[in-house]
Amino acid sequence: MKYSLYAVIFFALAAVFSSAWFGVRYFDGTVVAKPYDAALAWDRALVERERHGWAMMVDVPAPLQRGQTIVDIRFMQPDGSVAPITTAHIQVVAVHRHQERQEFVVTLEDGRFRVQPDFPYPGAWQVIATLQPETVPFTIEQNLYVVE
């Protein structure tokens, strides 16, 4: 009886310490400072995006490799045609889970916004494009995966 109690205590402590070790070792730093405010902003952006009816298409080479590449961003209207955006200001940001954040210079070529990002790390990246037409600005996000 005494040895079984020791075994239970040993396994319980081992579970606690191993959970703490994995949590510290593999924490990726993803923390939302104000989750409620972030959710409200996301809802506002969703309503504005649905009001316009536009979608963002990100054209990348497959598979997307580490390093510098050319990414084309198109905004599509609900009927599938390219949205006629010529005077709007666009800001493109790529965010990696390790808090790597890059802002890019965007050029307009043939109805596409061309960006030359540098993806230094493999893994999931989030491309956030903020479009500011003559009306209310809105944001569209798309996730990309970069391989080794």
Domain boundaries, the chain: 32-146
pTM of the model: 0.57
Per-residue pLDDT band for 136 (boundaries 50, 70, 90) equals: low
- pLDDT per position as a tens digit, 69-79: 777 777 777 77
Q: What is the pLDDT of residues 86-131, one digit of tens each?
A: 656 677 777 776 667 777 767 777 667 787 777 787 888 888 777 7
SS3 at position 22: helix
Is 5's pLDDT higher than 80?
Answer: yes
Please state the φ and ψ torsions of residue 11, each to the nearest 5 degrees: -70, -35
Q: What is the rounded distance in angstroms from the CA atom of residue 148 to the CA atom of residue 145?
A: 10
Find out whether 97 and 84 touch, Cβ atoms under 8 Å.
no
Per-residue pLDDT tens over the stretch 15-73:
999 998 887 777 666 666 788 888 888 788 777 777 777 777 777 777 778 877 777 77
Q: What is the homologous superfamily of the domain 32-146 according to CATH?
A: Immunoglobulins (2.60.40.10)
Give the span between the Cα atoms of 40 and 46, in whole angstroms. Answer: 10
Q: How far apart are the first and last CA of the chain?
A: 54
